[in-house]
Amino acid sequence: MPSVSLPDGSSRHFDAPVSVLDVARDIGPGLAKAALAGKVDGRLVDVRHEIAEDTDLAIVTDRDPEGVEIIRHSAAHLLAQAVKDLFPTAQVTIGPVIENGFYYDFAFERAFTPDDLERIEKRMRELAKADLPVERSVMERDEAVEYFRDMGEEYKAEIIASIPEGQDISLYRQGEFVDLCRGPHIPSTGRIKAFKLTKVAGAYWRGDSDNEMLQRIYGTAWPNKEQLNAYLEQLREAERRDHRRIGTELDLFSIQEDAGGGLVFWHPKGARIRRVIENFWFELHERAGYDFVVTPHIANLELWKTSGHADFYSESMYEPMEDDNQSFQLKPMNCPFHVLVYKDRLHSYRDLPLRWGEMGTVYRREMSGALHGLMRVRGFTQDDAHIFCREDQIESEIIGVLELTLELLEAFGFNNFDINLSTKPEDSVGSDAIWEHATDSLRSALEKKGLEYTLDEGGGAFYGPKIDIKIRDAIGRQWQCSTVQLDFNLPERFDMEYVSESNERKRPIMIHRALFGSLERFFGVLIEHYAGLFPLWLAPVQLAILTITERQDSYAREVLAALRKKGLRVDIDLRNEKIGFKIREHTIKRVPYLLVLGDREMDTNTVAVRTRSGEDLGSMGLDALLSRLDAEIASRGN
């Protein structure tokens, strides 16, 4: 009779087969009440799942990420049940879990309205309150096809018909509603305590634009009201910070439909910020021992065949253009170009490591539906660099890259990192020995820097292990930016060499690394992180000079010249408008400092200083102002 081993190392023995819920009860009534599912030998099952043999068991509650997913998935069923109740002619299709929530696609004769969503949500609440048991049953495939066809659910029948013959199909029933599902599910609908429907959108059946349009209803679900409210607040905050809106308000960038989707136009104010970012990047890299290269935007297709991109990366590449009986490929990456520079001459072990950086603009194919502001584009600039080094230099080079990454990202106010180390996948190139050595070097570099990381076993690219660094922005959202990728493939394909100490030809190791990732995307993240309130060192306009009457015009021009001479980015507003109006306007443009000039300031050779947050710093001379600004710029707002 079963002996059940629990995660804390203890085990319990039972005289007869038991359900997951029985085991939870045996441990304690609190756990029985909290149990949402079980994990039997690593497989998720319902709480009613019967255990007849010795097994490992973990009770899943809403404290586990899997438990939260089960709640979300069950909320999708609840949504479908409510829709079928209110709109019996709607047909159900699929309803998966997504990040922070779920959706369900329905075939319906019209679009759902906001009023419908409200009614559906209300019905969901009633069904949850009724605490209907959620029960699993099994049917043969063909029987299940008949079953759903008889109910008029053509889409479900089609999905089931595409499952291989002879397989048993599991169904979940709650009240009158039955859905095809692998499960597991919560024991009863009352376990869904905090949810909200967020929006409705069109979606094609099976994602194919040749198929009919379905109605997709999105929702979010959480273990409790506090977490739900925190998430909804984050959504509102994200909306308020949307980089597309702030980008237009502050005249930073645009995407011009006349030019094509996913192609970014940096306006003068956005380009100012970009130049500050780039200058800082070059300065840090130069200090860290990097050199810089500049390479073309297109190259002979043969190069991309040698590199392998024409094969394994072709889906992201534009069609080549023909000229002079040759095919030229627009570059999706900079790597092969840097390899060509390396190969242009013979290197000795003494030359290594070589660290070559480039702000390299690349073009990649993206479906128009996937494009999103600056976050997902077709043309973007990578803050790229490649390091060519010896095997014994991997660890110290990785340490250098990690230090540089943290210094760079911290300067932009990011102090919270989530790091992943991805190791050898099943299909890979390179010997086991080199993979092992390289992976150990990455691990050791992370540990020497005292950085916590998550291991993604088998998650590396086929050509080498990598480290990914995600940042968390001001409202807690994660963004993937930096990647450090080792590569055993390109040096082989390009037959790269260096002359070793013992005069042998050896292969260098290649490290790809981008710290911002894409400048465009990083700019989008920055806009949202700061909600457009850029710290002084980044602000496109750092100061605005505002005159009270035209009597101060020439004094204002003197102040302007003096500040510009110090390299500050200054606007001047001599318009014949009320000072309150001018202050409001430049505050809305999020200019950090406003200098108000009246007769008194002119007579005493001072400026009256206000901040964009409304603080009045009083009058001061230019020297006092400049030393304040210098200190603030040097601190980068941190």
| CA-only gyration radius of the chain, Å | 30
Query: Measured from the CB atom, is 84 or 512 closer to Zn ion?
Result: 512
DSSP 8-state class, residue 279: H
In 3-state terms, the chain is what percent helix, strand and coil (to 5)? 40, 30, 30
CB of 496 to Zn ion, least distance (A): 13
CB of 508 to Zn ion, least distance (A): 14
Query: Measured from the CB atom, is 81 or 552 closer to Zn ion?
Result: 81
Query: Measured from the CB atom, is 216 or 512 closer to Zn ion?
Result: 512
Question: According to CB under 5 A, which residues from 418 to 477 bind Zn ion?
Answer: none
E strand intervals along 338-477: 354-363, 379-389, 417-422, 454-456, 466-472
CB of 402 to Zn ion, least distance (A): 18
CB of 293 to Zn ion, least distance (A): 12
Using the Cα atoms of residue 436, residue 437, residue 438 and residue 442 in order, give the sign of their dihedral. Answer: positive
Long-range interactions of 370-376: CB distance < 8 A, separation 24+ = 371/261, 371/262, 373/242, 373/243, 373/244, 373/247, 373/255, 373/524, 374/243, 374/244, 374/247, 374/253, 374/264, 374/520, 374/521, 374/523, 374/524, 374/527, 375/243, 375/521, 375/524, 375/525, 376/262, 376/521
Residues that are catalytic: 335, 364, 382, 384, 386, 466, 512
Question: According to CB under 5 A, which residues from 333 to 362 bind Zn ion?
Answer: 335
Query: Measured from the CB atom, is 46 or 395 closer to Zn ion?
Result: 46
**How deeply is 556 buried, as exposed, middle or buried, from its count of CB atoms within 10 A (0-12, 13-18, 19+)?**
buried
Among 84, 123, 424, 512, binds Zn ion (CB under 5 A): 512
Residue 80 touches Zn ion, criterion: CB under 5 A: no
CB of 199 to Zn ion, least distance (A): 21
Q: Count the Cβ atoms, other than its own, within 10 Å of residue 292.
A: 13
Query: Measured from the CB atom, is 180 or 607 closer to Zn ion?
Result: 180
Could you write out the DSSP letters of every residue in 112-154?
Answer: PPHHHHHHHHHHHHHHHHTT-B-EEEEEEHHHHHHHHHHTT-H
CB of 92 to Zn ion, least distance (A): 11
Count the residues of the shown chain that bind Zn ion, applying the rule CB under 5 A: 3
Question: According to CB under 5 A, which residues from 165 to 194 bind Zn ion?
Answer: 181
**Among 236-244, 315-323, 506-514, 559-567, the segment contacting Zn ion (CB under 5 A):** 506-514
Question: According to CB under 5 A, which residues from 309 to 338 bind Zn ion?
Answer: 335
Instruction: Give dist(CA 220, CA 194) in Å, integer.
Output: 8
CB of 99 to Zn ion, least distance (A): 18
Question: According to CB under 5 A, which residues from 481 to 500 bind Zn ion?
Answer: none
Query: Measured from the CB atom, is 48 or 582 closer to Zn ion?
Result: 48
**Among 190-198, 264-272, 501-509, 511-519, the segment contacting Zn ion (CB under 5 A):** 511-519
Q: Which residues sit at the interface with Zn ion, rule CB under 5 A?
A: 181, 335, 512
